[in-house]
Amino acid sequence: MSGHARPPKGRAHPFPGEGVAQRREGGEPSAPARPPEGRDRPSLGEGVAPRREGGEPSAPARPPEGRDRPSLGEGVAQRREGGELNPVRPRCVQCRVAVALLVTGVAASFYYLGMPLGRMFEADAWRAMLAFAAGFFPPDLSPSYLARVGRAALETLAISLLGTVLAVFAAALLALPAAGRLGVGARVGARMLLNGLRSVPELVWAALMVLAAGIGPFAGVLALALHTAGVLGRLYAEALENAPPAPEASLVGAGSGAVTAFCYGTLPLVVAQWLAYALYRWEMNIRMAAILGFVGAGGLGTMLYYELSLFREAQASTVIIAMLLLSALVDTASQWLRADRPEGAR
């Protein structure tokens, strides 16, 4: 047997297909095909030319100079039945129809409501708006009036806090049957009740509660609690439905009771999400509690309604500033409570 052919010393093994000699018909190896000096081996697919029928390679197709490679979908042509190229022109028919319907709806709304859109850009209208805004400055910053505003702000804060807390407990109780844990009938009934609670706006609930419980902050607390319970109950139920059932099923299989398995298997998975929803609704209830006073539910809203009724713009400006500061304070506190902090800082 003849020995194996070894590459010369100092020469690394060739890459697959590089310098490999093909044997002729007589058995002698032909000279290996080497790339020209100073020319690196082309990358995969670079400069590869298809061979013609006669065996000679044809020149590779290159894009014209100064022209980048077209992007995906650019210049794509479809072939007709006869073989000719048919350029594709993308058309968004649905977008055009949607824009046309939107413009038509806006124009029809202005016409139906009789709003003089052109008068908004007249100089007299701008002067009237500036004069109206100037009447709110400077705000009334007397100590006696600031004390009244402070007491109303605390009342608004208490209304929003109590309404949110009552809503959280009611939502947690209604979320269990709404998530299907007590049967199909209880699920349908709980969902219908939640839909009814959140379908009625807070102002309508406040007007009804003023008729039922009288003018004052108690009506505002009940109005916020009823509407917020409907919103949070639906969110809590969806969180329970999306929670993984494996931990609770493992505890039940180990012999735990249904309540114990829920408290230790499912509740820890959703309690953080429930808390985030409650804080978000509290932020919204702060603003809504300030508005509920317009129907007699107490707080800053009642004070603002009283000042505007007497055309006391300076005092109304002070109340509006107090509303803004209270909302900013609650937003900051909510962000701080929801922020992720290091383990040692908690």
Structure tokens at 161: 């806090």
Question: 102-106, 200-204, 339-343: lowest mean pLDDT where?
Answer: 339-343
Q: Residue 57 gets which letter from DSSP?
A: B
Question: For 34-59, what is each residue's pLDDT tens digit?
Answer: 555 555 555 444 444 445 455 555 55
Distances (CA, A) of 208 to 34, 201, 238: 93, 11, 29
Q: What is the CATH number of domain 143-345?
A: 1.10.3720.10
Structure tokens at 72: 């995906």
Q: Give 60 or 206, the one with higher predicted confidence.
A: 206
Q: How far is it, in rounded angstroms, from Cα 340 to Cα 331?
A: 16
Q: Which residue has the tokens 């803004």?
A: 324
pLDDT for 293: 82
Q: Which helix (H) or strand (E) holds 87?
A: strand 85-87
Q: How far is it, in rounded angstroms, from Cα 147 to Cα 80?
A: 82
Three-state SS at 77? strand
Of 157, 183, 167, nearest to 235 (Cα)? Answer: 167
Ranges assigned E (strand) in 163-230 = none
Strand partners, 57: 51
Question: For 96-132, what is each residue's pLDDT tens digit?
Answer: 899 999 999 998 988 888 887 777 788 888 888 898 8
Where are the domains positioned within the chain?
Answer: 143-345
- Rounded to the nearest 10°, the torsion over CA 11, 12, 17, 20 is 30
Q: How far is it, in rounded angstroms, from Cα 336 to Cα 175?
A: 27
What does the mean pLDDT of the chain come to?
79
pLDDT band (50, 70, 90) for residue 214: confident
* Per-residue pLDDT at 147 exceeds 80: yes
Neighbours of 125 (CB within 10 A): 13
Task: Give me the helices (H) in 88-216, please.
Answer: 93-113, 123-134, 143-178, 184-199, 202-213
pLDDT band (50, 70, 90) for residue 292: confident
Distances (CA, A) of 44 to 41, 48, 88, 194: 9, 8, 31, 63
Question: 11-25, 94-108, 109-123, 310-324: lowest mean pLDDT where?
Answer: 11-25
